[in-house]
Amino acid sequence: MLANYHSHTPRCNHAEGRERRYVERALEGGLEELGFSDHTPYFFDEPGYYSGFRMRPEQLPDYVGTLLNLREEYGGRIRLHIGLEAEYYPKLFPRLLDYLRQFPLDYLLLGQHALCNETEGIFSTHPTDDERLLDLYRGQTLEALETGLFTYFAHPDLFCFTGDAKVYERHVRAVCRRAKELAIPLEFNLLGFMERKHYPDPAFWRVVGEEGCAVILGSDAHRPQDVWDPKLIARAEALLSGFGIRPVERIALRPIR
């Protein structure tokens, strides 16, 4: 692994370890690039509502400032990138962008943890056999990719569909085809792989291989030691090669300035 663009910090309330330790772990693994992509803040319309798994808007200056300092300190040893992992919430996204554009952010990853505008309470990881929800996930994530603002699609198979396999395949293929046309890489998520979650889903990755999409490994590190795990990476590469997939080592970032 030469680059990992998916790492978190404790600001999201479910990650641990100082940023510096993530950088040190990346250096141990010989990574040449490390990207931080903590869960973005958001501005919600519902009074009193705030998701517990993301930083608050007022924490963003400290997040960016801390990483700018580390970038300077570690310059010449590793390239540090400052990004965010963001859901695409149609009603709330424009205001978020206005805020984010005030900061020198190198990229956004799409991580669609909830549907609609989150406050409706439809979460991608809740198992369902309802095709309408799968269709909603497909439509919403494709709309996000069409904005051209996302560098890659993190855990694209996060949606937990328990219904008919043929239905699943049809929706997945549509996502893969459009991502390929837009030249947006799909992430094989190493955290889900390590924790044996419902993703990465082999049924998804088989289609990715058939469609010939660009694929990148993402550590999704919520602890410094998870930035680079050579045994896990080897297992992931073996699984992917069975689907004819060879992940790319690096990607071009899309700054949101």
Residue nearest to Zn ion (CB): 220
**Least distance from Zn ion to the Cβ atom of residue 231, Å:** 21
Partners of 248 in beta bridges: 216
The answer to the question of residue 38 lying near Zn ion (CB under 5 A) is no
The whole-angstrom separation of Cα 95 and Cα 123 is 22
Give min distance, CB of 256 to Zn ion, in A: 17
Q: Does 226 bind Zn ion (CB under 5 A)?
A: no
85 binds Zn ion (CB under 5 A): yes
Stretch that binds Zn ion, among 56-64, 95-103, 214-222, 237-245 (CB under 5 A): 214-222
Residue 220 touching Zn ion (CB under 5 A): yes
Q: Minimum Å distance from CB 68 to Zn ion?
A: 21
Residue whose CB is less far from Zn ion, 85 or 226: 85
Sheet-wide strand order for 152-153: 3-4, 33-39, 79-86, 107-110, 152-153, 186-189, 215-218
Candidate ranges 18-26, 28-36, 88-96, 213-221; the one touching Zn ion (CB under 5 A):
213-221
- Pick from 23, 190, 184, 18: nearest CA to 88: 184
Q: What is the DSSP string of 190-212?
A: HHHHHTT-S-S-HHHHHHHHHHT
Q: Is the CB of residue 66 less than 8 Å from the CB of residue 111?
A: no
Q: How far is the CB of 8 from Zn ion (least distance, A)?
A: 5
Q: How far apart are CB 125 and Zn ion at their closest, in Å?
A: 11
Q: Tell me how far apart the alpha carbons of residues 78 and 36 are, in angstroms, rounded to a whole number.
A: 13
Q: What are the backbone angles phi and psi of residue 10, rounded to the nearest 5°?
A: -65, -10
Nearer to Zn ion by Cβ, of 111 and 209: the residue is: 111
Binding site for Zn ion (CB under 5 A): 85, 220
